[in-house]
């Protein structure tokens, strides 16, 4: 990275899988070391050729074709931004390298006979072509020349059981999303070793966040702005946190976090589908969202799930059918 009069640390965070019927919700954050020159470029949506490969993950990555998102996740890990350094040998390795929580914590709530539904990595493989991976490396090289170096990436994985348990405790998915973002910011602040500036995708359309904070609850802070488009807060010793509407489409760091989270969400949802396709041959795949194919998947597996004593709370989000109406 070129020299600068000052280097600052910037976080971009976003969620994936907030509203589906099945599968986990992912909250992902990236940490960048940024020079004065790179600060402006980071705070806007990608341009030029980069805009063809980085942006709103919902628009750029389709269910069943996650090669682009995979390439971004793999390259970040290869460049040392994950908890484990070096290339990930498999999608399972990559998930664990990026996850904020270790393997034991992720599976802590899993009944032993249900664990394969979510954690079996059988038949998983990378799909991104080598030339795409090389192109993403070049994209990050060019960003470093502009004064932007991504030094860390972390994700929290909130499985269906955790989402349902949270709801039973009075915490809806929006609150859990916010609390996951707070955990990530605190973790990446420790990585940075100094105050950070964090930009997060807006959570649940909130205008005011102070009363909803979890890990940051009770910490002294100043309200900088609270509008429909942007809510921002200053925490002494931690830095500034801003929640930005449509951040994944307008902020480069948030876009990257969204892209990585999209890949992890698709990998983990695919495990659920493969597991039940083995149990119920002929079952069609499903995205997990509120669509007819996912509805058919739920119905096709109902008897098998009951026979195998799979708790509903480990399979389908509470209120999912009502939300789909």
| Domains, in order of start, for the chain | 7-271 (3.30.420.10)
Which pTM does this prediction carry?
A: 0.94
Considering only CA atoms, which of 40, 22, 52, 105 is closest in space to residue 285?
A: 22
Which structure tokens are listed for 254? 């948030």
User: Three-state SS string across 94-113, please?
Assistant: HHHHHECCCHHHHCCCCCCC
Q: What is the pLDDT of residue 85?
A: 63
Q: How many CA atoms lie within 13 A of 40 on its CB side?
A: 2
Using 70 as the pLDDT threshold, list the residues of the chain that sit under it: 1-5, 84-86, 205, 320-325
Q: What is the pLDDT of residue 2?
A: 45
Q: What is the pLDDT of residue 60?
A: 83
Q: What is the pLDDT of residue 63?
A: 74
Considering only CA atoms, which of 272, 244, 269 is closest in space to residue 257?
A: 244
pLDDT in tens, 255-280: 999 999 999 999 999 999 999 999 99
pLDDT in tens, 52-88: 899 777 888 877 789 999 999 999 999 998 876 667 8
């Amino acid at each position: 990275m070129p020299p600068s009069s000052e280097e600052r640390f910037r976080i971009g965070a976003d969620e994936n899988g907030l509203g589906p019927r099945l599968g986990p919700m992912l909250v992902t954050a990236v940490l960048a070391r940024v020079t004065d020159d790179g600060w402006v470029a980071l705070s806007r949506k990608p341009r030029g050729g980069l805009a063809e490969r980085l942006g709103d993950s919902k628009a750029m990555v389709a269910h069943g074709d996650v090669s682009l998102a995979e390439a971004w996740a793999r390259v970040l890990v290869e460049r040392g931004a994950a908890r484990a350094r070096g290339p990930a040998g498999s999608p399972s390795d990559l998930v664990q390298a990026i996850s904020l929580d270790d393997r034991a914590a992720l599976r802590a709530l899993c009944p032993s006979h249900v664990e394969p539904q979510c954690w079996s990595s059988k038949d998983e493989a990378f799909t991104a072509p080598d030339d795409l991976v090389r192109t993403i490396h070049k994209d990050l090289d060019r960003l470093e020349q502009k004064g932007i170096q991504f030094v860390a990436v972390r994700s929290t994985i909130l499985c269906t059981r955790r989402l349902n348990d949270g709801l039973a405790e009075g915490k809806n998915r929006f609150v859990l999303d916010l609390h996951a973002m707070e955990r990530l910011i605190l973790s990446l602040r420790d990585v940075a070793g100094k105050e950070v500036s964090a930009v997060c995708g807006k959570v649940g359309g909130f205008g005011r966040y102070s009363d909803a904070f979890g890990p940051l609850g009770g910490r002294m802070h100043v309200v900088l702005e609270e509008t429909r488009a942007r809510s921002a807060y200053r925490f002494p010793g931690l830095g500034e946190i801003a929640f930005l509407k449509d951040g994944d489409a307008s902020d480069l760091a948030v876009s990257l976090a969204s892209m990585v989270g999209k890949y992890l969400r698709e990998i983990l949802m695919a495990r659920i589908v493969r597991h039940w396709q083995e149990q119920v041959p002929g079952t069609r795949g499903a995205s997990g969202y509120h669509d007819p194919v996912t509805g058919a998947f739920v119905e096709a597996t109902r008897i098998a799930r009951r026979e195998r004593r799979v708790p509903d709370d480990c399979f389908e989000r509470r209120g999912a059918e009502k939300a789909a109406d």
